[in-house]
């Protein structure tokens, strides 16, 4: 039986990680390591100046896991290198509340946990549900089972993860699965100036999700059109075009 590491960024108490744990039960031996509190939008941060503490935690229906006082990337690192007897066969992260598409992938702790898996040469998948308040995970669990099964069978190229986004609609309304490119969805920030009871000024970040893409093969548009979006992402960030241009700058 394969070993599956389950993690997330919404925290070990989130409903999405419980759903993902349930989905993985039929596929292999499941180990859970996730932040002890919500760590959304922390990106690929890791803890280097404070100790990382671990606490065993039990939830309903036999759910057991390690609650980690660190980031999603911390959870993957410590699970693979200290808590598990051997590396897992696959790492799955999620199921996140809210989509992770376009430029927002850079901020996502959900995707960063999967990225850490690829750095450790372990096939990894990030799952997100396009719903922010109350998520229905029944169909998302089916998608997670299907994708994880294929990854266990076929593997993934070194340095590449799968970023899966599931529309927050009923299963009957989903139009299918689509292989997509990372688009240009971004969060348009707005900072509300407020005053606390002692007269001190503070700011609360709000805003809206913007998607300039209309290409149905981009991740954000595909989800908006009712498709499950599956995007292969790699962490190689070198701009090859600029690399060639820099060679002509005569910087020596």
DSSP characters over 17-36: HHHHHHHHTTTSEEEEEEES
Collect all residues with Cβ–Cβ distance below 8 Å to 249 and sequence separation of at least 6: none
For residue 133, pLDDT beyond 80: no
For residue 8, pLDDT beyond 90: yes
Residue 251 belongs to a domain: no
Residue 195 belongs to a domain: no
Residue 191 belongs to a domain: no
Residue 44 belongs to a domain: yes
Range of the domain at 57: 3-182+214-246
Residue 207 belongs to a domain: no
Residue 194 belongs to a domain: no
pTM over 0.75: yes
Residue 252 belongs to a domain: no
Alpha-carbon span 212 to 214, nearest angstrom: 7
Residue 145 belongs to a domain: yes
Beta-bridged to residue 90, according to DSSP, are 4
Q: What is the pLDDT of residue 236?
A: 86
What CATH number corresponds to the domain at position 125?
3.40.1210.10
Each residue's pLDDT tens digit, 207-220? 887 888 889 999 99
Each residue's pLDDT tens digit, 12-61? 999 999 999 999 999 999 999 999 999 998 999 999 999 999 999 988 78
Task: Indicate the number of domains in the chain.
Answer: 1
Each residue's pLDDT tens digit, 73-93? 999 999 999 999 999 999 999
Each residue's pLDDT tens digit, 233-250? 998 889 988 998 898 898
SS3 211: coil
Q: Does residue 95 have a cis bond before it (omega within 30 degrees)? A: yes
**pLDDT category, 4, cuts 50, 70, 90?**
very high
For residue 115, pLDDT beyond 90: yes
Q: What is the pLDDT of residue 224?
A: 95
């Amino acid at each position: 039986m394969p070993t599956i590491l389950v993690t997330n960024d919404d925290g070990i108490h989130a409903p999405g990680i419980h759903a993902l744990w349930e989905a993985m039960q039929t596929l292999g031996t499941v180990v859970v390591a996730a932040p002890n509190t919500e760590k959304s939008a922390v990106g690929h941060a890791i803890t280097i100046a404070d100790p990382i503490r671990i606490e065993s935690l039990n939830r309903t229906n036999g759910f057991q896991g390690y609650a980690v006082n660190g980031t999603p990337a911390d959870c993957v690192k410590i699970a693979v290198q200290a808590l598990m007897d051997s590396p897992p066969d696959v790492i799955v992260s999620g199921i996140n509340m809210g989509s992770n598409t376009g430029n927002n992938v850079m901020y996502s702790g959900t995707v960063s946990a999967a990225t850490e898996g690829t750095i450790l040469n372990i096939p990894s998948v990030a799952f997100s549900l396009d719903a922010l308040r109350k998520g229905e995970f029944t169909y998302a669990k089916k998608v997670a089972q299907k994708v994880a099964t294929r990854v266990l069978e076929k593997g993934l190229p070194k340095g590449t993860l799968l970023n899966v986004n599931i529309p927050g609609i009923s299963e009957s309304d989903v139009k299918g699965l689509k292989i997509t490119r990372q688009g240009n969805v971004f969060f348009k920030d707005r900072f509300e100036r407020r005053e606390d009871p002692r007269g001190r000024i503070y700011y609360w970040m709000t805003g809206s999700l913007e998607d300039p893409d209309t290409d149905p093969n981009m991740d954000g548009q595909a989800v908006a059109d009712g498709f499950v979006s599956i995007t292969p992402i790699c962490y190689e960030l070198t701009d090859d075009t600029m690399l060639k241009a820099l060679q002509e700058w005569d910087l020596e």
